[in-house]
Amino acid sequence: MSVVNIPDAAGKILTVQEIDGRLYPRFDPYVLRNVPSLKLRDDDVILCGFPKSGTHWLFEIGRLLLHGKLHTDVKPKESLFADMVPESELNEVDSPRIINTHVRFDRLPSDVKTKNLKILYVRRNPKDLVVSYYNHTRKLENYHYDGEFKDYLPLFSKGLAYGSWFDYVLEWEKIIANNQELSILDVTYEDLKEDPIKEIRRVSDFLGVQRSEDFIEEIKDFCNFSTMKDRFKDKMGITDGHNIFYRAGEVGDWKNWFTVAQNEWFDQLYRQKMANSKLKFKFTLNED
């Protein structure tokens, strides 16, 4: 493990760490290295996604569906975050568990393949994601970053903590296409936003739980972004608006951040990187 200081165009430093040739946030290296060897239970669900793709949102939906009632006394996502939480602590959480991680597919627990566990995979359009990731990075002290968005954008395009977003989603596209034996549900942030009832029902069916339409509606309201943001703020005792996990939650917020020139540059980069991909992302919704 080694600390890596990455300078942006203005000389501002973003601090990450390198473990076995890959970049990560400065979490406990032992915990990160141990993710592939985690022992999983037969009823575990694995939640995967690049940072700021909507994993908190999908985790809340998944846990409510699995437990069949609205409550907040179940362990939160942070308590089941395999990248930070030691296995001994994960083992203290009652089933059913949703183990969540941002690591690449080849670093997932090997039990994912041998036990054929259910995998929830969430992805989000990269323009909204980079805006969210930038704000998240500035708020997290272990990154030590206070640079401007215009200088962060080129760094993101090359890959920072957890590597390149492009590599991440392209790899998952191949995994889903070439591993039909794996139980993977591909969910997009934008579809959840546009038609939450339909997507929550998809997740419910995938998890194999029978939930009423009334309960699906209740989950939609309980997991509304503003409601979740307030609930998290109350739980953490946040009084100054310094919320590192919930910010805007909108599709198309990138338009408030990208200049015309930045948008044209990113569009060209996207076309190059995604030239051989069949993935589709919504950068705005019809309601916008």
Q: Which position among 67, 71, 102, 144 bears the catalytic label?
A: 102
At which residue do the structure tokens 């990269």 appear? 126
Question: Would residue 56 show up in a list of annotated catalytic residues for this protein?
Answer: no
Query: Distance between CA 62 and CA 100 in Å, rounded?
Result: 11
146 exposure class (CB count in 10 Å sphere: 0-12, 13-18, 19+)? exposed
Q: Do 131 and 149 contact (CB within 8 A), yes or no?
A: yes
3-state secondary structure of 161: coil
3-state secondary structure of 188: strand
DSSP states of 102-135 as a string? Answer: -S-GGGS-THHHHTT-EEEEEE--HHHHHHHHHH
Contacts (Cβ under 8 Å, ≥6 apart) of 260:
none
Q: Which pairing describes strands 98-101 and 118-123: parallel, antiparallel, or unpaired?
A: unpaired
Q: Which helix (H) or strand (E) holds 220?
A: helix 213-222
Q: Do 136 and 52 contact (CB within 8 A), yes or no?
A: yes
What letter represents residue 100's amino acid?
N
Contacts (Cβ under 8 Å, ≥6 apart) of 272:
none
Residues paired with 23 in a beta bridge: 18
Contacts (Cβ under 8 Å, ≥6 apart) of 229:
243, 246, 249
- Which residues are catalytically annotated? 102
